[in-house]
């Protein structure tokens, strides 16, 4: 118990003036599971990446197995005994299980790979993690849960002493999640120090010996021992003092609302603004597609509605389907009185629906092209006259939108890639705030991901003014409760590809959102624990059962482009 597997002291890391980590301490003794919580941008990923050697910390020390490091290279991290299992696994699909386990440390005999010896050892390792696959199975053909176990087996083969699991259940079915929890318990008894990153409080309650909550790069809460009070954790994640929220989290409406989810579709919000479904806003009726639905919702003209949910909840899919990036399998979408069946983004745009995607680098930006080209791209053709670009008009539109979004520097010829993240996002957003395309409904996915605080405020201001001054219907997805509270008039909680709750007005608080989404996710976890997998319900309830939503965007883009 005294032997310390991992001890992090005073770890600090800044990115361009923003402190991603600020003097973070974290100690995980051998044979313990330490849960790491905090919402997106709180610093969890940065912490893990410093540990894995991807980033050099600015200051602080990382002690692994009694040896202190000021910075680790990826190789040093592995030899020191750190193994990190990322959400996007790093197994090679084309290789077999045993080939994956021994990748880079192959056993050879006379220069040839000793396949039989590898497979024997691999079988032993697989047994240790209770995987059911065979060493000869091709990894690409295995379910997500098994792939994850293969990666853990690989970590064990390198005699890792510190195991970091980054939201390991996000891409797993509920049955797989439960199996994984047992494996984690086994590995704890085998003496590993385990850092367990999660959003799900049920997992914390079941597994964690200690908890650290990060917020804005600092340790916001730390507690040792079982019996974590859920409300303390929620308060720490949301950044409120633990005393006050006595009422709010208990009032979390989801438990009640999931019986009457859409009955509460607050008409008050519409009435207050004097808007209704027929006023030119966005209306979804029973929209469904792979991994989500049916979803019905209304965004009035000039209204800002947030979609709050965890990774895999389906929020991105809903937006992408609305925009024609994915094909809907049923339901209708209306903008104003016009029904839209968008088979491709061009169709959605023609109907006045635009999307600002979440993955700016892959889906939004043209880094080597100028700011002018980036912001004006969809406007160049509408502005052109008899096939020739109207350079003067383009320039006027650029100046207007650069002023409206507060682009800095407002230099049209500068390559977009040389702008800061916030200003890049302004360029992508700026595409849709000129009159040339007549946007009536604006969809935003994680509108301020990778954006500094100042630019975040400006983006909120732009979105607000779009809604208020132009009557644009705004529907945005976010995993950041702070952002939802800041920007939304009304919020729909999404889990398992469905709207499971709605919050507006005074009840729309960070605590309420956090409880809501954790309750919603816990429903699936506990349902699975109590009754052994009623397939239909678990598929419906659990947003985390759909692995493809968690695949990185670049993989999606490849398949989607081939498909469209």
Partner 1 sequence: MTTADSVLVRPRALAVGGLGTLRRHPLILVLAVMVLVFQVSTGSFLDPANLRGIATDAATLAIVAVPLALLVISGYLDLSVGSTLALGGLVAGWLAGQGQSPVLAVLGGLAAGAAVGAVNGVLCCYFGLSAFIVTLGMLTAVRGLAQQLFPLPLSGFGPGFAWLGGSRIAGIAAPVVIAALVLVAGALFLALTPAGRHVFAIGVNREAAYLSGISIRRTPFALFVVTGVAAALAGSIKASVLDSAVGGTSGAGFELTVLTAVLLGGVALSGGSGSVLGVLLGVLFLGSLQNGLTLLDVPTFWQQMAQGTALVAGAALAHFAPRSAR
Single out the residue of 362, 408, 464, 470 in contact with partner 1 (rule: CB under 8 A): 362
Residue 561 binds partner 1 (CB under 8 A): yes
CB of 377 to partner 1, least distance (A): 5
Single out the residue of 17, 243, 387, 469 in contact with partner 1 (rule: CB under 8 A): 387
Q: Are 312 and 549 in contact (CB under 8 A)?
A: yes
Residue 415 binds partner 1 (CB under 8 A): yes
Pick between residue 304 and residue 372 the one whose CB is nearest to partner 1: 372
Pick between residue 116 and residue 389 the one whose CB is nearest to partner 1: 389
Single out the residue of 109, 136, 262, 381 in contact with partner 1 (rule: CB under 8 A): 381
Q: How many whole angstroms separate alpha carbon 487 and alpha carbon 446?
A: 12
Of residues 430-489, those binding partner 1 (CB under 8 A): 431, 437
String of DSSP letters for 7-68: EEEEEEEEETTEEEEEEEEEEEETTEEEEEE--TTSSHHHHHHHHHTSS--SEEEEEETTEE
Stretch that binds partner 1, among 39-47, 140-148, 240-248, 372-380 (CB under 8 A): 372-380
Residue 426 binds partner 1 (CB under 8 A): no
Residue 229 binds partner 1 (CB under 8 A): no
Single out the residue of 150, 355, 494, 523 in contact with partner 1 (rule: CB under 8 A): 355
Pick between residue 357 and residue 421 the one whose CB is nearest to partner 1: 357
The DSSP letter of residue 211 is E
Q: Considering just the CA atoms, what is the radius of gyration of the chain in Å?
A: 25
- Token digits of residue 125: 């390792």
Pick between residue 97 and residue 349 the one whose CB is nearest to partner 1: 349
Q: How many whole angstroms separate alpha carbon 299 and alpha carbon 442?
A: 10
- Token digits of residue 66: 């009694």
Q: Are 77 and 164 in contact (CB under 8 A)?
A: no
CB of 399 to partner 1, least distance (A): 9
Angle of helix 144-157 relative to helix 174-189, nearest 10 degrees?
20
Residues binding partner 1: what is the number (CB under 8 A)?
42
Pick between residue 383 and residue 527 the one whose CB is nearest to partner 1: 383
Pick between residue 67 and residue 389 the one whose CB is nearest to partner 1: 389
Of residues 30-89, those binding partner 1 (CB under 8 A): none
Q: How many whole angstroms separate alpha carbon 40 and alpha carbon 26?
A: 19
Q: How many whole angstroms separate alpha carbon 207 and alpha carbon 390?
A: 62
Single out the residue of 124, 274, 330, 346 in contact with partner 1 (rule: CB under 8 A): 346
The DSSP letter of residue 370 is B
Single out the residue of 96, 228, 363, 424 in contact with partner 1 (rule: CB under 8 A): 363
Angle of helix 144-157 relative to helix 115-128, nearest 10 degrees?
110
The residues with which 61 forms a beta bridge, in sequence order, are 9
Stretch that binds partner 1, among 12-20, 31-39, 160-168, 384-392 (CB under 8 A): 384-392
With b meaning 16 or more CB within 10 Å and e meaning fewer, what string describes 330-343? ebebbbbeeebebe
CA nearest to 486, candidates 466, 515, 458: 458
Of residues 265-324, those binding partner 1 (CB under 8 A): 323
Single out the residue of 99, 394, 502, 549 in contact with partner 1 (rule: CB under 8 A): 394
Q: What residue ranges bind partner 1 (CB under 8 A)?
A: 323, 325, 344-346, 348-349, 355, 357, 362-369, 372-373, 376-378, 380-381, 384, 387-389, 391-392, 394-395, 398, 412-413, 415, 431, 437, 557, 561-562, 564
């Amino acid at each position: 118990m005294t032997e310390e597997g991992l001890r992090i002291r005073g770890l600090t890391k800044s990115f361009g003036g923003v402190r991603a980590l600020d003097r973070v301490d974290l100690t995980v003794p051998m044979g313990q599971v330490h849960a790491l919580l905090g919402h997106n941008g709180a610093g969890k990923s940065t912490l893990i990446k410093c540990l894995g050697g991807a980033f050099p910390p600015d200051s602080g020390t990382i002690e692994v197995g009694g040896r202190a490091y000021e910075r680790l290279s990826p190789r040093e991290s592995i030899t020191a005994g750190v193994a990190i299992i990322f959400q996007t696994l790093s197994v090679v699909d084309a290789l077999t299980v045993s080939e994956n386990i021994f990748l880079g440390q192959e056993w050879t005999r006379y220069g040839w790979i000793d396949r039989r010896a590898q497979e024997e050892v691999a079988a032993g390792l697989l047994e240790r993690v209770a995987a059911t696959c065979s060493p000869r199975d091709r990894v690409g053909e295995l379910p997500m849960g098994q792939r994850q176990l293969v990666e853990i087996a690989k970590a064990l083969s390198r005699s890792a002493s510190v195991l970091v699991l980054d939201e390991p259940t996000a891409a797993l079915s509920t049955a797989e999640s439960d199996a994984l929890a047992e494996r984690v318990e086994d590995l704890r008894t085998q003496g590993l120090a385990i850092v367990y990153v999660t959003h799900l409080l049920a997992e914390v309650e079941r597994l964690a010996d200690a908890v650290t909550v990060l917020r804005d790069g600092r340790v916001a809460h730390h507690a040792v021992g079982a019996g974590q009070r859920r409300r303390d954790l929620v308060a720490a994640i949301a950044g409120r003092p633990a005393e006050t929220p006595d009422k709010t989290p208990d009032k979390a409406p989801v438990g009640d609302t999931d019986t009457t989810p859409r009955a509460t579709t607050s008409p008050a919000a519409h009435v207050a603004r004097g808007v209704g479904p027929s006023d030119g806003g966005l209306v979804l009726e029973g929209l469904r597609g792979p991994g989500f639905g049916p979803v019905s919702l209304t965004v009035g003209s000039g209204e800002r509605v947030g979609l709050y949910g965890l990774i895999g909840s389906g929020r991105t899919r809903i937006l992408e389907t609305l925009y024609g990036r994915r094909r809907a399998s049923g339901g209708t979408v209306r903008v104003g009185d016009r029904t839209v069946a968008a088979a491709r983004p061009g169709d959605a745009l023609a109907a006045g629906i635009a999307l600002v995607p979440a993955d700016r680098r892959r889906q939004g930006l043209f880094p080597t092209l100028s700011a002018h080209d980036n912001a004006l791209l969809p406007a160049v053709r509408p502005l052109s006259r008899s096939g020739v670009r109207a350079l003067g008009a383009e320039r006027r539109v650029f100046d207007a939108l650069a002023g409206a979004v507060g682009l800095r520097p407002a230099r049209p010829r500068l390559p977009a890639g040389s702008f800061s993240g916030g200003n890049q996002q302004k360029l992508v957003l700026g595409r849709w705030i000129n009159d040339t395309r007549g946007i009536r409904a604006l969809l935003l996915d994680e509108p301020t991901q990778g954006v500094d605080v100042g630019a975040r405020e400006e983006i909120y201001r732009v979105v607000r003014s779009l809604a208020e001054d132009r009557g644009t219907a705004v529907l945005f997805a976010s995993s950041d409760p702070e952002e939802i509270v800041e920007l939304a008039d009304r919020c729909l909680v999404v889990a398992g590809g469905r709207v499971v709750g709605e919050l507006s007005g005074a009840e729309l608080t960070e605590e309420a959102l956090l409880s809501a989404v954790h309750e919603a996710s816990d429903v699936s976890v506990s349902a699975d624990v109590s009754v052994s997998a009623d397939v239909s319900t678990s598929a419906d309830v659990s947003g985390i059962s759909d692995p493809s939503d968690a695949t990185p965007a670049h993989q999606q883009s490849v398949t989607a482009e081939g498909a469209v």
